[in-house]
């Protein structure tokens, strides 16, 4: 349907030009209907040229002899304009009118250009024949004088150059468009190939990182868990030390499992871990640190099953890091964990009492990591000592309104 816009739009423009020409110039008394008949042929030919460019060009060309037979000295202005447009459209749109898409099937090649020329050459030929017929009729009417014959020869040459030149321009424009389409497809193919190469490089790098993490970190943690188990077996059963070591062993095994999950995700970005960190497992996390000797109370407000995955994992990691910091820096002091989920945000709060004298620990990057996790979501983190000597971590993760 889109290929009909150009010829049908041209038909409307030519109709307006022809009517204006008739009104402004007027019709001679001897040929009152000739301009209207010629204009009708032009408009009809332009409409037919949409689906059938060659046939439409032949109908447009009939306007010349119609005007002369009707008593005019030559073609009207609208007819001359149509003589230029119709063969040009035939050269450009013949292949498209036959149901082919410009640029398809090896577009831009010389073979396609020759095929389009073979299909559309009857259009300028028909226009030239009609122009020759019109000039011959006009010459017979004027008489076979030397000046009349010269005028006929000039008009034949003029309309011949007009028809064949316009047809050649149409072929050239069509070939340039086909070549532009071909270049666009080649550029798109090269872009897709570049993205595929970049993706392959990323996948390879992810696999390398996964191998390094598995070989270096997972193995070390596994050895540590085994050594803790060996130490635990040397202690009497049921003592606080034994229960603490059991908790540490469980944390170590879960860390290895999470590390293996992360390695699997690095190796395959579409894989989904069997046990992703989530606030729905906050009770399990609290139980683990409670088993390690930390007296913790957990308070939850809201449903945490519908959280965005990224927010859920980050909030869980902040809670995990905050509880670890309590054990490292304050010891086994009373701690309160509050989780709240509203329509706008998720908040994680960890309050612990003042700690006793503890052995010095190596400074880590826990608070920095928590701030980075919260900043990803444009949230806020407040972490600092309380007036009574305790410590508070309050993290807010905006989530927006959710149904």
Q: Where are the alpha helices (DSSP H) in 98-145?
A: 110-120, 122-142
Residue 74 in domain: yes
DSSP 326: I
| Shared domain check, 282 and 191 | no
pLDDT band with cut points at 50, 70 and 90 for residue 274: very low
| Shared domain check, 18 and 155 | yes
With a cut of 70, say whether residue 402 has pLDDT above it. no
| Shared domain check, 283 and 188 | no
Residue 161 in domain: yes
Residue 261 in domain: no
pLDDT band with cut points at 50, 70 and 90 for residue 393: very high
Q: In whole angstroms, what is the distance from residue 89 CA to residue 59 CA?
A: 14
Residue 255 in domain: no
* CA atoms 43, 44, 49, 54: torsion sign: negative
Query: What is the pLDDT of the chain when averaged over all its residues?
Result: 77
CA-closest candidate to residue 13, choices 38, 53, 43: 43
Residue 39 in domain: yes
Last residue of a domain, one of 195, 216, 240: 195
With a cut of 80, say whether residue 322 has pLDDT above it. yes
Over range 151-176, report the average pLDDT.
82
Last residue of a domain, one of 155, 176, 195: 195
| Shared domain check, 186 and 77 | yes
* pLDDT for the residue numbered 104: 45
* pLDDT for the residue numbered 339: 95
**What phi and psi, each to the nearest 5 degrees, are found at residue 347?**
-120, 140
| Shared domain check, 39 and 184 | yes
Residue with more model confidence, 98 or 88:
88
CA-closest candidate to residue 2, choices 96, 113, 112, 92: 96
Residue with more model confidence, 42 or 213:
42
DSSP 217: I
| Shared domain check, 190 and 55 | yes
Q: In whole angstroms, what is the distance from residue 123 CA to residue 121 CA?
A: 5
Residue 386 in domain: yes
* pLDDT for the residue numbered 299: 93
| Shared domain check, 152 and 17 | yes
Q: Angle 34-48/77-97 helices, nearest 10 degrees? A: 20
Q: Count of CB atoms within 10 A of residue 88's CB?
A: 26
With a cut of 60, say whether residue 157 has pLDDT above it. yes
Percentage with pLDDT > 90 across the chain: 10
With a cut of 70, say whether residue 202 has pLDDT above it. yes
The residue segments making up the domain with residue 147 are 2-195
* pLDDT for the residue numbered 265: 62
Element (H, E) at 304: none
pLDDT in tens, 96-150: 444 444 444 444 456 666 777 778 888 888 888 888 888 887 776 655 554 556 6
| Shared domain check, 283 and 181 | no
45 touches 13 (CB < 8 A): no
| Shared domain check, 290 and 146 | no
| Shared domain check, 150 and 17 | yes
pLDDT band with cut points at 50, 70 and 90 for residue 42: confident
Residue 228 in domain: no
CA-closest candidate to residue 71, choices 42, 38, 43, 41: 38
Domains of the chain: total: 2
Q: In whole angstroms, what is the distance from residue 138 CA to residue 32 CA?
A: 17
DSSP, collapsed to helix, strand or coil, labels residue 306 as: coil
* pLDDT for the residue numbered 396: 95
Last residue of a domain, one of 146, 166, 195: 195
Q: In whole angstroms, what is the distance from residue 337 CA to residue 349 CA?
A: 6
62 touches 49 (CB < 8 A): no
With a cut of 80, say whether residue 326 has pLDDT above it. yes
Q: Where are the alpha helices (DSSP H) in 343-394?
A: 366-375
* pLDDT for the residue numbered 219: 64
Residue 221 buriedness (CB in 10 A; 0-12 / 13-18 / 19+): middle
With a cut of 60, say whether residue 221 has pLDDT above it. yes
CA-closest candidate to residue 54, choices 130, 131, 121, 132: 121
| Shared domain check, 158 and 293 | no
| Shared domain check, 314 and 165 | no
Q: Which CATH number goes with the domain that contains 316?
A: 3.30.565.10
pLDDT band with cut points at 50, 70 and 90 for residue 270: very low
Residue 265 in domain: no
* pLDDT for the residue numbered 359: 38
* pLDDT for the residue numbered 301: 92
* pLDDT for the residue numbered 145: 53
Residue with more model confidence, 333 or 178:
333
Residue with more model confidence, 380 or 216:
380
Sort strands 335-341 and 296-301 into parallel, antiparallel or unpaired.
Answer: parallel
* pLDDT for the residue numbered 200: 77
């Amino acid at each position: 349907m889109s290929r009909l816009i150009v010829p049908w739009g041209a038909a409307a423009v030519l109709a307006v030009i022809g009517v204006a020409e008739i009104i402004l110039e007027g019709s001679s008394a001897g040929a009152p209907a000739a301009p209207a008949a010629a204009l009708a042929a032009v408009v009809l030919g332009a409409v037919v040229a949409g689906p059938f460019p060659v046939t439409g060009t032949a109908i447009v060309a009939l306007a010349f002899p119609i005007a002369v037979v009707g008593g005019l000295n030559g073609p009207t202005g609208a007819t001359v304009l149509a003589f230029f447009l119709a063969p040009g459209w035939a050269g450009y749109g013949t292949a498209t009118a036959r149901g082919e898409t410009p640029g398809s099937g090896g577009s831009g090649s010389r073979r396609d250009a020759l095929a389009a020329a073979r299909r559309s050459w009857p259009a300028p030929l028909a226009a030239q024949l009609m122009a020759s017929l019109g000039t011959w009729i006009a010459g017979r009417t004027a008489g076979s004088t030397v000046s009349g014959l010269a005028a006929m020869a000039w008009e034949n040459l003029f309309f011949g150059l007009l028809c064949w030149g316009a047809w050649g321009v149409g072929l050239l424009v069509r070939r340039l468009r086909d070549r532009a389409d071909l270049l666009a497809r080649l550029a798109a193919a090269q872009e897709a190939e570049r993205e595929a190469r970049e993706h392959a490089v990323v996948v390879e790098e992810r696999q390398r990182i996964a191998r390094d993490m598995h070989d270096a970190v997972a193995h070390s943690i596994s050895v540590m868990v085994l050594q803790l188990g060996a130490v635990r077996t040397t202690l009497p059963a049921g003592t606080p030390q034994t229960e603490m070591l059991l908790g540490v062993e469980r944390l170590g095994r879960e860390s290895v499992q999470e590390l293996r999950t992360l390695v699997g995700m690095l190796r395959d970005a579409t894989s989904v871990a069997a046990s992703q960190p989530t606030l729905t497992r906050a009770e399990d996390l609290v139980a683990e640190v409670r088993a390690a000797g930390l007296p913790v109370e957990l308070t939850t407000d809201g449903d945490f099953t519908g959280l965005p995955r990224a927010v859920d994992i980050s909030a869980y990691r902040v809670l995990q890091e905050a509880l670890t910091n309590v054990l490292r820096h304050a010891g086994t002091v009373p701690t309160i964990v509050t989780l709240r989920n509203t329509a706008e945000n998720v908040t994680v709060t960890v309050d612990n009492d003042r700690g006793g004298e503890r052995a010095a620990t190596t400074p880590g990057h826990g608070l920095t990591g928590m701030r980075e996790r919260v900043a990803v979501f444009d949230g806020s983190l407040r972490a600092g000592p309380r007036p009574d000597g305790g410590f508070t971590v309050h993290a807010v993760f905006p989530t927006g309104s959710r149904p």
